[in-house]
């Protein structure tokens, strides 16, 4: 009987866990981020359900991977152009709120939540806490993916906010160490964000109760109160690594997996690109502004001037761009799609001109390529400032007449080998790890499931009020004690010298 039971346990565990991964953000980079989590889980034999905006882009045809269509989320791109500099934080928060509500209202998602049982839920941090509901109604561990370097908004979910006095915020261009006024700026920004969160809390709570209340009722389970679950995160998977983001203390349930989205086996280059790269003895400059920035964002005049600059170089230029040009100089090759990793891995690539998106920046680290960063929005200015500070990059301000500045920066990067030396050195740091990120992902998600939430890895800071871990209560006690000691001493001195002052004052009067 025991043997039978053991056999069953073995067989059951060999089947793997049922893990649900959500990708509700209609952006290709977020698709890559979540795919990077799905892939190792599928490979480890788990039954993964991948709810994604781009089901057609899922290449993995494994039997243990189920893809759920969320392509109706593409419509949210109509409300907002992420590359428009006029887009504010409030717009992005509105988008994230729209996405969260739409996700939980999706019939396929509701059906899974009511009728299926998963072992863990993976969501991505994107400004709301409504996603807490999925793990809460299922009663299973919540794995939170953070597609940025570790920042205070994620930090406050799992720990005290330790980064505020020492690190620039995620949207700041400030470099380390921060000056007094930069730290003040940091604090003000954080206070504004906190005020915002405080205001949205009741909205999130209401949405949570409305949508997940109905799901919990249909499942026949009670809905835990929002305040108990909105930060009930078991594991944070963070797209950070000390070779890029500054080293700061983190609780043991924050796992740094930067570079996990990069395929360990570099796909072969198409024949024509391979030939171009191999034959470019003077080197290659690779130019891509990512997937969110539309071609129309580069004005006609800017394009012409950039082509002039590139045409004057002896290096080959590979340019990822949505539109084609006529009469291009021979050394410029424009394609709407480029296999970025395979290009960056080629030894002839000398410079990567980039918008400084995190994924591109991390790929440049993986392959040790110097950067010419032209950041546009979101965390790009922050990443670019960081790459400049590490010595891997030169930065140029994005503007319609940036071409001369681009030329200057290119010359500097090609003339001075300190950038490529630094890039090679950082690449060594980036790759020097005990475990591959994919191993960490499966290990920690399995651990969270097997320990029912990895409580032993969570920071105990949540036992305390903010003024307790800042030791303000103890400081108050110290002030009170000092005041009492001071008062007692003053009294004692007064008593001991009681006669003296009177005499002296009398004398004075006399
Ligand atoms: C959010 O949805 C509302 C309609 O429900 C729409 O008016 C608004 O523009 C949307 N905003 C974003 C940023 O998606
Ligand atoms: C190369 O660039 C580095 C970093 O900006 C600088 O410190 C160094 O002086 C430069 N070397 C030359 C030869 O210009
Ligand atoms: C918090 O999550 C764990 C699993 O990670 C779960 O066992 C626990 O019940 C959750 N807490 C609440 C209040 O729902």
Per-residue pLDDT tens over the stretch 324-383 = 888 899 999 999 999 999 999 999 999 999 999 999 999 999 999 999 999 988 889 999
Atom of ligand 3 nearest to the CA of 228: 13
What confidence score (pLDDT) does residue 254 get?
98
What confidence score (pLDDT) does residue 264 get?
85
What confidence score (pLDDT) does residue 251 get?
96
User: How many domains are contained in the chain?
Assistant: 3
CA of 79 to the centre of ligand 1 (A): 6
Which of the residue ranges 142-151, 237-246, 292-301 would you say has the lowest mean pLDDT? 292-301
CA-proximal residue: ligand 1, atom 9 (nearest): 79
Distance CA 61, CA 405 (A): 46
Q: Which of 256, 257, 253, 197 is nearest to 462 (CA)?
A: 253
Rounded alpha-carbon distances, angstroms, from residue 214 to 114, 155, 210, 230: 9, 31, 6, 18
Vertex 372, ends 247 and 356: CA angle to 5°? Answer: 50
Residue 401 lies in a domain: yes
Ligand nearest 92 Cα, by number?
1
Regarding whether 255 and 220 lie in a shared domain, the answer is: yes
Which of the residue ranges 60-69, 169-178, 207-216 would you say has the lowest mean pLDDT? 169-178
Residue 4 lies in a domain: no
CATH number of the domain enclosing 386: 3.40.50.2000
pLDDT at 109 over 70: yes
What confidence score (pLDDT) does residue 333 get?
95
Choice between 322 and 185, residue whose per-residue pLDDT is larger? 185
Distance CA 230, CA 207 (A): 12
Q: What is the mean pLDDT of residues 402-414?
A: 97
Q: What is the mean pLDDT of residues 175-203?
A: 93
What confidence score (pLDDT) does residue 407 get?
97
Percentage of residues of the chain with pLDDT beyond 70: 93
**Tokens 């690449």 correspond to what residue?**
427
Domain that holds residue 368: 271-431
What confidence score (pLDDT) does residue 320 get?
93
Compute the residue count for the chain: 510
Q: Locate all alpha helices (DSSP H) within 1-71, ordered by sequence.
A: 2-15, 28-43
CA-proximal residue: ligand 1, atom 14 (nearest): 95
Atom of ligand 3 nearest to the CA of 136: 14
Cβ(150)–Cβ(240) under 8 Å? yes
**Tokens 């997996």 correspond to what residue?**
257
Residue 116 lies in a domain: yes
CA of 22 to the centre of ligand 3 (A): 19
Cβ(377)–Cβ(85) under 8 Å? yes
What confidence score (pLDDT) does residue 498 get?
80
DSSP 284: E
Regarding whether 405 and 308 lie in a shared domain, the answer is: yes
pLDDT at 64 over 90: yes
Distance CA 476, CA 433 (A): 45
At residue 500 the predicted structure's pLDDT band, cuts being 50, 70 and 90, is low
Q: Which of 89, 107, 286 is nearest to 189 (CA)?
A: 89
pLDDT at 263 over 70: yes
Regarding whether 328 and 258 lie in a shared domain, the answer is: no
What confidence score (pLDDT) does residue 227 get?
96
CA of 78 to the centre of ligand 1 (A): 9
Its pTM surpasses 0.95: no
Distance CA 131, CA 231 (A): 10
Regarding whether 423 and 489 lie in a shared domain, the answer is: no
Q: Which of 86, 92, 93, 98 to mutate to test the pocket of ligand 1 (most atoms within 8 A of CB)?
A: 98
Regarding whether 148 and 62 lie in a shared domain, the answer is: yes
CA of 389 to the centre of ligand 2 (A): 13
Q: What is the pLDDT of residues 289-328, one digit of tens each?
A: 887 666 667 888 999 999 999 999 999 999 999 888 888 9
Regarding whether 419 and 384 lie in a shared domain, the answer is: yes
Q: What is the mean pLDDT of residues 253-258?
A: 97
Which residues, 6+ apart, have CB-to-CB distance to 103 below 8 Å? 22, 24, 51, 70, 73, 109, 131
Q: Which of 251, 228, 225 is nearest to 238 (CA)?
A: 251
3-state secondary structure 348-395: CEEEEEECCCHHHHHHHHHHCCCEEECCCCCCHHHHHHHHHHHCCEEE
Residue 7 lies in a domain: no
CA of 102 to the centre of ligand 3 (A): 24
Q: What is the pLDDT of residues 379-392, one digit of tens each?
A: 899 999 999 999 99
Residue 424 lies in a domain: yes
Residue 121 region by backbone torsions, left for phi larger than 0, else alpha for psi between -120 and 50, else beta: beta
Regarding whether 196 and 92 lie in a shared domain, the answer is: yes
Residue 161 lies in a domain: yes
Regarding whether 348 and 480 lie in a shared domain, the answer is: no
Cβ(146)–Cβ(125) under 8 Å? yes
pLDDT at 14 over 80: no
Distance CA 111, CA 98 (A): 20
Ligand 3 binding pocket includes 224 (Cβ within 6 Å): yes
Regarding whether 452 and 408 lie in a shared domain, the answer is: no
Distance CA 181, CA 484 (A): 36
Residue 292 lies in a domain: yes
Regarding whether 488 and 378 lie in a shared domain, the answer is: no
Say what angle helices 180-219 and 89-105 make with each other, to 10 degrees.
10
What confidence score (pLDDT) does residue 11 get?
46
CA-proximal residue: ligand 2, atom 7 (nearest): 418
Residue 182 lies in a domain: yes
Regarding whether 276 and 382 lie in a shared domain, the answer is: yes
Examine the fold and report which residue of 431, 451, 483 is the final residue of a domain before the chain moves on.
Answer: 431
Regarding whether 292 and 168 lie in a shared domain, the answer is: no
pLDDT at 95 over 60: yes
pLDDT at 171 over 90: no
Ligand 1 binding pocket includes 84 (Cβ within 6 Å): no
Ligand 1 binding pocket includes 95 (Cβ within 6 Å): yes
Q: What is the mean pLDDT of residues 392-409?
A: 95
């Amino acid at each position: 009987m025991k043997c039978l039971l053991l056999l069953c346990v073995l067989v059951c565990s060999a089947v793997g866990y049922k893990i649900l991964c959500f990708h509700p953000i209609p952006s290709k980079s977020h698709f890559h981020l979540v795919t990077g989590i799905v892939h190792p889980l599928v490979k480890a034999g788990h039954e993964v359900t991948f709810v994604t905006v781009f089901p057609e882009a899922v290449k993995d045809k494994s039997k243990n991977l189920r893809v759920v269509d969320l392509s109706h989320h593409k419509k949210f791109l109509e409300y907002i152009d992420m590359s428009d500099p006029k887009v504010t934080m409030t717009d992005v928060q509105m988008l994230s709120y729209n996405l969260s509500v739409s996700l939980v209202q999706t019939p396929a998602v509701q059906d899974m939540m009511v009728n299926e049982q998963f072992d863990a839920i993976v969501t991505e941090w994107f400004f709301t806490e409504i996603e807490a509901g999925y793990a809460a109604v299922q009663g299973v561990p919540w794995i939170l993916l953070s597609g940025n370097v570790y920042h205070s908004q994620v930090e406050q979910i799992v720990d005290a906010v330790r980064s505020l006095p020492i690190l620039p915020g995620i949207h700041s261009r400030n470099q380390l160490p921060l000056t007094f006024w930069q730290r003040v700026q940091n604090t003000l920004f954080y206070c504004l964000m906190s005020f915002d969160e405080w205001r949205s809390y009741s909205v999130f709570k209401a949405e949570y109760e409305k949508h997940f209340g109905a799901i919990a009722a249909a499942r026949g389970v009670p809905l835990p109160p929002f305040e108990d679950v909105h930060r009930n995160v078991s594991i944070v998977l963070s797209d950070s690594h000390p070779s890029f983001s500054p080293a700061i203390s983190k609780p043991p349930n924050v796992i740094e997996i930067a570079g996990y989205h990069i395929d360990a086996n570099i796909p072969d280059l198409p024949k024509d690109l391979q030939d171009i790269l191999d034959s470019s003895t003077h080197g290659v400059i690779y130019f891509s502004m990512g997937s969110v920035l539309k071609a129309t964002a580069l004005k006609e005049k800017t394009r012409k001037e950039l082509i002039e600059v590139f045409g004057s170089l002896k290096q080959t230029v590979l340019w990822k761009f949505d539109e084609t040009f006529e009469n291009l100089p021979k050394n410029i090759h424009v394609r709407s799609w480029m296999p970025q990793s395979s290009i960056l891995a080629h030894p002839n690539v000398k410079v990567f001109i980039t918008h400084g998106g995190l994924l591109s920046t991390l790929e440049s680290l993986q392959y040790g390529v110097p950067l010419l960063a032209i950041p546009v929005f979101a965390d790009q200015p922050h990443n670019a400032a960081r790459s400049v500070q590490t010595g891997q990059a030169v930065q140029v301000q994005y503007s319609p007449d940036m071409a001369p500045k681009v030329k200057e920066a290119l010359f500097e990067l090609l003339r001075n080998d300190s950038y490529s030396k630094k890039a090679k050195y950082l690449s060594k740091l980036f790759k020097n790890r005990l475990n591959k990120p994919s191993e960490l992902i499966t290990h920690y998600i399995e651990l969270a499931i097997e320990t029912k939430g990895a409580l032993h890895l969570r920071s105990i800071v949540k036992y305390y009020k903010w003024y307790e871990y800042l030791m303000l209560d103890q400081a108050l006690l110290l002030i009170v004690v000092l005041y009492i000691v001071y008062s007692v001493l003053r009294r004692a001195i007064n008593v001991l010298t009681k006669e003296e002052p009177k005499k002296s004052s009398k004398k004075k009067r006399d």
